[in-house]
Structure 1
């Protein structure tokens, strides 16, 4: 699936944590060598701590952030073997620095965040404390972000030359021909080979299960006896794996935009469900544009807007905008509108301007960016490695072709692009694992909070319901009739009140609660500088 995030941060599709077993074998019980290896690594990390100081200059992070590293084993079955370093960022709790004593807030420890992916970095997360919605939490908690294993600068993984991402424009047929499918199969096979060639024997160790183990080592290195964690999108999946493996190490956990953790969903079925859900979200976006026809002039019905979009696709296929933007780039940009409705005004404006003869807004929003190519390639590599390693995938192309041809008849917007993103998993050279059965018994885990938007396409709502069923004593808060991917700390004050009450006071509703949707965005009649180039808002591909 795709990238997800905290309200302003992008992530990716979510993956399942698995037991260390080759495809076809019985899943290993969560324990044994890896569990002992995690305890050894955590003990070492607790003794060493984290030496926070200035962040690496090449990371271009603000001076207000402190950075350090945590050492973890590449292979937890051999904790004395090869080690890798995870880079961590932090801003200390601001409540300790208040000049007026009566405004001081007791520090509650570290709040660790993962924004999703797999392949997304949380290094910028501590800066959320500057936003009004996060200031109460920033007063009580050290805000901690990190780059998971494989994500630059934490032992970065690469599968191809980043320059390939700048080669465009590219096609993206809604109903691909047999010859186009054959071409994409060859590209998927070559990509899988590139991952194996560049990563070598380390490739198999990029998994959700290892991400959960790394999280426990990070907890220990921070000096926290128990973990307080906010996971968004994919972060909810390996957060749930963590809760299953280390329930006694949990203090409080928030699962924002939950991935469906059922073993049979990981990851092939989750991607099919995601493609179906994006069709509904695409309809939501078109309906919004139609309601603002006086601003955009794209038609006063969703069908008229769709015809305008298809007209743009056809025109870009014949003559790419600025020599940079073809149908694939258009689709990638409009997919972001399916993730976040705050993108709607910009995308609608770009489409309107393009059809009226001005391609500049579309080129600005959808064109390739050399400055982010290396970051995007790294994120794609980690996404692919984790998803492919995590679970069995169909290895027969006819299965993919059958399932997605049928789905594309009713959900054409995203189906085939989702296939091309994940198809390397059909030809993956590393051993596959079996997904962990995420589940906790009553009383084993402290109460946890699940947040979900009812019309989220990247992580469909059924995933939140399934996670709620599997985590005993969890509470689900739903934003009704809304579809932004990741709602913690966003524009919904009702959602944020539940978030603050839980993280600051440990208070939760009984079992479920709901909030009215946040207001839809207002149309923008004039071009604005696109905000999609920031590390937290780029048009990332297929992540949760």
Structure 2
């Protein structure tokens, strides 16, 4: 397509840094990079004394953010809140043909242009959450350009697991671990199973748990009182849990520059390996394919949630009505060949530890560090994650 695309980049540190350049990729997709330079410098000071740090507002984020007002208000930065079909189609219609150019393979090409512009023959890449998908695909496409790779809170590189079966089932372990630590005296997983089947609020409760676990992986923040709210609701007092679910699902005031829900939809719908196929499949027939896929899920895999939650949560509900579009191009490589550090928090409900274990098992030079009591985005939110990353980067 003719024209230009301007993307904002921040560079911090010396061009002749002893260990070269570190490209740090944020997640979402939809999150900018440039505003997070101070945060990353504060979390990895030892490593960044040896590296030059580069961060970028990937296409469709930050200064070039896609703005879809209705979708932005409905979901903000949540993966799990289900948007209305109208807000999704309005977003796609406002983008028109441009919606075809926000795949991860497009971003990978941007990153390679950036590397050339910086004049570096190779660099180290660190990706967090959906940034692991982007970083992984860059490394598979340009393996000779990547010295080392850090994947923090791993997203499967094949575009699968978008029904969140592993996250739904992992919630029982996270709840029970929190209960043991707090000596709560009841089974919060059984309480959850009872509540969501009685009240039909599984997607709202799942969204509550995912966001609460990001803020407070041990679920012991008294502002929320998640365990007590679940137990009270199971006993008949729905007040506290209903208020939490409503609060965490409330309309978002995040701006597109802070997190673009339009880019989130465009990239996810292009990148995903959906039950109906890739993004080019017509909308008609997708719902039937999704229903078949949900029926194939074993109920035990998603307990304490009913398996239907997998098809009702935000990711598939965003991409079901998204118009047929150009899909992400498969990366030419299938195996990461460079040294790779994978970081996973055992309380992470956004990117459960199983995803990291599965990728580590097929990566020859992988080192997996599972951090007990830690949730999502380990380098930013835990000293243990930052320390493990620095040790690997400085090795």
Partner of 1:116: 27
Give the conservation status (yes or no) of the 8 Å contact 1:92–1:143: yes
Pick one of 209, 222, 225 that aligns with 1:334.
209
Partner of 1:281: 171
The SS at the match of 2:326 is coil
Give the conservation status (yes or no) of the 8 Å contact 2:166–2:352: no
Displacement of 1:309: 5.9
Partner of 2:51: 141
Question: What RMSD, in angstroms, separates the aligned Cα atoms of the two structures?
Answer: 4.0
Per-residue CA deviation, residues 350-382 of structure 1 (Å, 9 max, x unaligned), is 444795877999489626365326568x63322
Pick one of 141, 144, 151 that aligns with 1:245.
141
Displacement of 1:210: 0.9
Partner of 1:45: none
Whether 2:43 is the aligned partner of 1:153: answer: no
Partner of 2:263: 382
Pick one of 332, 336, 340 that aligns with 1:448.
340
CA change 1:225–1:343 in 2 (3 A) is same
Whether 2:155 is the aligned partner of 1:259: answer: yes
Pick one of 245, 251, 254 that aligns with 1:372.
254
Displacement of 1:413: 3.3
Whether 2:320 is the aligned partner of 1:429: answer: no
The SS at the match of 1:118 is coil
Give the conservation status (yes or no) of the 8 Å contact 2:104–2:328: no
Partner of 1:88: 9
The SS at the match of 2:64 is coil
> How does 1:371-520 map onto structure 2 within 5 Å?
371-372=253-254, 374=256, 379-391=260-272, 393=274, 394=276, 395-405=285-295, 407=297, 409-410=299-300, 411=302, 413=305, 416=308, 418-419=310-311, 420-421=313-314, 422-427=316-321, 428-433=323-328, 435-436=330-331, 438-440=333-335, 446-453=338-345, 456-468=348-360, 471-472=363-364, 474-479=365-370, 484-488=375-379, 490-491=381-382, 493=384, 496-504=386-394, 507=395
CA change 1:371–1:384 in 2 (3 A) is closer
Q: Distance in 1 between matches of 2:113 and 2:105?
A: 13
How many residues align? The count is 370
Partner of 2:116: 220
Q: Distance in 2 between matches of 1:360 and 1:398?
A: 31
Q: Distance in 1 between matches of 2:156 and 2:193?
A: 33
Per-residue CA deviation, residues 516-539 of structure 1 (Å, 9 max, x unaligned), is xxxxxxxxxxxxxxxxxxxxxxxx
Q: Distance in 1 between matches of 2:75 and 2:319?
A: 20
Whether 2:182 is the aligned partner of 1:301: answer: no
Partner of 1:128: 39
Partner of 2:281: none
Q: Distance in 1 between matches of 2:145 and 2:41?
A: 29
Per-residue CA deviation, residues 447-481 of structure 1 (Å, 9 max, x unaligned), is 33333345644334454344345555x22222165
Give the conservation status (yes or no) of the 8 Å contact 2:152–2:379: yes
Whether 2:228 is the aligned partner of 1:346: answer: no
Displacement of 1:430: 1.3
> How does 1:32-71 map onto structure 2 within 5 Å?
none
Give the conservation status (yes or no) of the 8 Å contact 2:72–2:254: no
The SS at the match of 1:193 is helix
Q: Distance in 1 between matches of 2:346 and 2:245?
A: 32
CA change 1:196–1:492 in 2 (3 A) is closer
CA change 1:258–1:165 in 2 (3 A) is closer
The SS at the match of 1:144 is strand
**Structure 2 residue runs without a partner (length 5+):** 277-284
Give the conservation status (yes or no) of the 8 Å contact 1:278–1:458: no
Pick one of 237, 253, 271 that aligns with 2:162.
271
Q: Distance in 2 between matches of 1:205 and 1:159?
A: 20
Q: Distance in 2 between matches of 1:290 and 1:501?
A: 32
Q: Distance in 2 between matches of 1:158 and 1:499?
A: 36
Q: Distance in 1 between matches of 2:222 and 2:293?
A: 30
Give the conservation status (yes or no) of the 8 Å contact 1:252–1:448: yes
> Which has the higher Rg, Structure 1 or Structure 2?
1
The SS at the match of 1:137 is helix
The SS at the match of 2:27 is coil
Give the conservation status (yes or no) of the 8 Å contact 1:114–1:231: yes
Q: Distance in 2 between matches of 1:112 and 1:399?
A: 38
